[in-house]
Structure 1
Amino acid sequence: MILTPTMTGIASPEPLQHAFKVKSAPHAGRGGSRPVFLEPEQWQQWWQQPSQATERALYIHIPFCRKRCTFCNFFENGTNPERISRYIKNLTEQLKIAADTPLAQSRPFNTVYVGGGTPTDISSDEVKQLGEAIQRFPLIDDAEVTLEGRLNGFDDDKWHNATANSFNRFSFGVQSFDTQVRQAAGRFDDKDFLLNRLQQLSQHPSGSIVIDLIFGLPGQTMDIWQQDLQAVIDSGVHGVDLYQLIGLSGTRIENAREKGKVLGTAASEFQADSQMRANMYASGANYFETQNWQRLSSCHWRCAPRERSVYNSLAKSGIEILPFGAGAGGSIHGHGCMNGRDLKKWHLAHDETLSLSNPLVRTAPIQVPGMLMSPNPSASLDAIFKRGLDSGELNLALLTKEMVVHLTPLFVEWQKNGLAILSQNALKLTLAGRFWNVNMQTGLFQYLAENPLNGELNGSEIQQPQGITS
């Protein structure tokens, strides 16, 4: 049996601060898939086959931002009205084609997420166009439809067109309410504007307003962080995500750090280390839970039932997610999909395909450049692990007895190291475990790779849709 500190963490009097050295990635996963190539005819056949998924989502990507934030490493395209107009025109055309296919119509969708980028940078009329295109898909009666973005530029016209055209959840990247910290991070607007606007939008009778906060931003001291937490309550929003700043390569913060600099505020160059970020997480978790907010995941809390976080929850369960737009990711017929980010190539594929006289091009959305992967042979099992650990409690009844026995040595080490409490029916993460849950997921997948259990699914047991070759 191979057990390493990257799997188990280390013993420490303060596991919240020291169980692992640092959070190294936003998400965890394991391999097992391989690239798959589809001929255009196979792509057409794919969209004529009904879905076998029990739960489904749409993900629609808007790859434009007016400004690159200092913590962001995936800025793609500057906001330009003409570029956005062309993109929305082509995107909605692809959505309309896709909505009429047997694949799309075969089963209803539980949730839709419009992400980016900054989707709220599109015009009010384009918000309406996008909402109308989404409504062509079969949605369950209480489908959650999220529009992501920022408050700056999201005026009343956009708000009214959004709520009138199927959008019922709005996720705004606030990151910090502190005006100086926001300016240092490259954000628009000051604290007063944010509070006033959020208070206005949160009064809607049914829409869910959710915000993101980041802890560990340059210049963000513990005092400022605690003021951010209080501002969440004052804003009246229905849900909040608390995300840890991660030192990803390519960000302005990381580039400055490599040069020995800190992109702090005029008042402070304070930069929280991993231990301080752990304390910030604990402060946030304890604060909201003492305010009777319900924790839906290790990083998400709500104060009202209208906030359901359906997309974020189901996406961790390995559901089918049809992706649309340059840079969109998802899965179709069990195959992972990632559309290429190059906007010129995306438009070129769209224009060249629709210029063809072949009527078949109207029976499936455009096959744009990107990557398609074979089904993950352990997708169902991995979804149990991801969803359970992310929620803070892994239900052992969802696993086979053999798998529980196989994983018990790892679970025991997590318990010894203050990360979890193991009982007969469940593995419940401690506060420290919830903070380090991504490291724990990564460690679990590493454990299974180093200590394989006989009987795990292999690729030959996955039934591929007709017309798919790998």
Structure 2
Amino acid sequence: MFVDLTPFDETILGTHTPDPLRFAFPPKKHAHAATHQMPLPLEQGIAGVTTQLLSPPVQSGPRCLYIHVPFCRVRCTYCHFFQHAASRTLIDSYFAALLKELGMKAAMPWTQAQPFEAVYVGGGTPTALSAAQLQQLGQEIRRQFWLTPDCEITLEGRINGFDDNAFEHSLAGGFNRFSFGVQSFNTQVRRAAKRLDDGDTVRERIHALSARQEATIVVDLLYGLPYQTAEIFAQDVADYLQTGANGIDLYQLVVAPNTPMLRMVEQGKMPPPATTAEKASLFAQGVSLMDQHDCRRLSVNHWARDQREQSRYNRLAKHGADILPLGCGAGGSIDGVGIMQHRDLATYLDAMQTNTMPIARVVAAVEHRRVYDAIKAGLDMGVLHADTLPPWQGMSVFQYLSPLFAVWQQHGLVTLCENKLQLTLAGQFWSVTLAQACIHVLQSL
């Protein structure tokens, strides 16, 4: 049985063009491919999640912790995740509540049944915590949760305000990986994005932290920001290489509606961000520069310079690992059931004060989710192997989708072998779109 492509348009099939890298699909709207999930009535959903956590897991598998710190000193102009401005009083109140949630969930049978392979403290800006709080958070994670001996414990944040004292306290707490959202080393580009430090300060600080060789240091760069020409982006990559950091993410700028950046563009206060075609050119440039410097590719947008960087949390999350969420605004999933915690700080604090689950939304597990997870993970790695895809309704998913793959090959997006789909450079740029197209085709049935 093969898929009938008749109902699908160019948003799924792509467009036949001499330049598929730049024009194969309409512009990307989301950073990640997603499945259509059905929200559960909240009381029912909370009861179900509570039952899961009060019981050992039905089946074993990789698992991670995600801890959210919802504070930022300023809102970046492209950001639509901003929750709360950093305030010491608010942060202290939140930190006490977060520690209470850690203790509550760490004691549950589901949590105690298996070790966690990766922990990610994200935000927001987790480095908004004080040095003492960073150390205490790391120590509490290690004390209360069963972690694998080589567990990757990541602290995300900004260079701004993250001095040697904060770094040393974080190391003392057990953090062994640091991911810094640099976005660009160019001062003009940074100012337009409302990043606080100039490029020289950030570059020198990343270099100093990397030179200490005490933890994995990773840099996030965006491509497509206002003022970011091809020459500036090439210098951004060169600056990363100069810092000696262990790994780098190159992420396409996707600006959501109603962000400060778009309002400033409309008001004539800054040039618009790059078009999709321009971002495709920057992506190709970034891939070429990484190849020239023999960086080891971990996914379509992540590279490592040495064996220290493994990007374990990102890899496990994209392969469908269970993720236990903790904190205001945290999201995760247990056995496919999606969990989103309260984004409103007052509501979260009230839940912790009353010893109730701080859950705002629960979505049902998707049928065939392991198929969708395997598709997303494979395309994120740039190659999809037929034998890594679980059966779907008693058939081979790879064979069923082969007519779609054949069209993509004609459009220059993939190279199709008997049991393997390899993304071309164009396909790598459109990897999220390709994954979303596969999921849409399967779910439409």
Q: If the length of structure 1 is used for normalisation, what is the TM-score?
A: 0.89
Q: Does 1:190 align with 2:180?
A: no
SS at match of 1:87: helix
Offset from partner CA, 1:209-265 (integer Å, 9 cap, x none): 0011111111111111111111110111111111111131121112234x363x43x
Q: How many residues align?
A: 433
> 2: distance between equivalents of 1:44 and 1:443?
34
Deviation at 1:37, TM superposition (A): 3.7
Counterpart of 1:126 (choices 133, 140, 147) is 133
In 1: Cα distance, 2:37 partner to 2:253 partner = 29
- Decide whether aligned partners of structure 1 residues 133 and 224 sit closer, same or farther in structure 2, where only a CA change above 3 A counts: same
The answer as to 2:112 corresponding to 1:105 is yes
Question: Is 1:387 matched up with 2:377?
Answer: yes
Aligned to 1:237: 245
Partner of 1:48: 54
Provide closer, same or farther for how the CA distance between residues 224 and 41 of structure 1 changes in structure 2, counting only shifts above 3 A: closer
Check 1:300–1:93 CA distance in 2 against 1; reply closer, same or farther (3 A cut): same
Structure 1 residue 414: deviation in Å?
Answer: 0.8
Q: Is the 8 A contact 1:215 1:243 kept in 2?
A: yes
Q: CA–CA distance in 2 between the matches of 1:225 and 1:114?
A: 28
- Report runs of 4+ in structure 1 exceeding 3 Å deviation: 36-46
* Residue of structure 2 aligned with 1:5, choices 10, 13, 17: 10
Distance 2:360 2:56 in 1: 23
Partner of 2:410: 416
- Aligned match of 2:256 in 240, 248, 261? 248
Question: Is residue 405 of structure 1 aligned with residue 399 of structure 2?
Answer: yes
Q: Distance in 2 between matches of 1:92 and 1:32?
A: 31
Q: Distance in 1 between matches of 2:192 and 2:42?
A: 44
Q: Which of 61, 70, 83 does residue 77 from structure 2 map onto?
A: 70
Q: Secondary structure at the match of 1:237?
A: coil
Question: What SS does the aligned partner of 2:114 have?
Answer: coil
Q: Which residue type is aligned with residue 211 of structure 2? A: Q
Task: Tell me the CA shift for residue 36 of structure 1.
Answer: 4.5
Secondary structure in 2 matching 1:248 = coil
| Partners of 1:127 and 1:158 within 8 A in 2 | yes
Report whether the alignment pairs 1:310 with 2:312. yes
AA in 1 matched with 2:425? L
Q: Distance in 2 between matches of 1:367 and 1:113?
A: 20
- C-alpha deviation, 1:44, in angstroms: 4.7
Q: CA RMSD in A?
A: 1.6
Letter in 2 for 1:28: A
Q: Does 1:202 align with 2:192?
A: no
Please tell me the residue identity of whatever aligns with 2:204.
Answer: N
CA distance in 2, matches of 1:53, 1:343: 33
CA deviation after TM superposition for structure 1 residue 352, in Å: 2.4
CA distance in 2, matches of 1:21, 1:84: 41
2:291 counterpart SS class = helix
Q: Which residue of 2 aligns with 1:430?
A: 424
1:283 to 279, 282, 285: 285
Letter in 2 for 1:367: M
Structure 2 gap ranges (5+): none
Q: Which runs of 5+ in 1 are unaligned?
A: 354-365, 453-470
Alpha-carbon shift at residue 383 of structure 1 (Å): 0.8
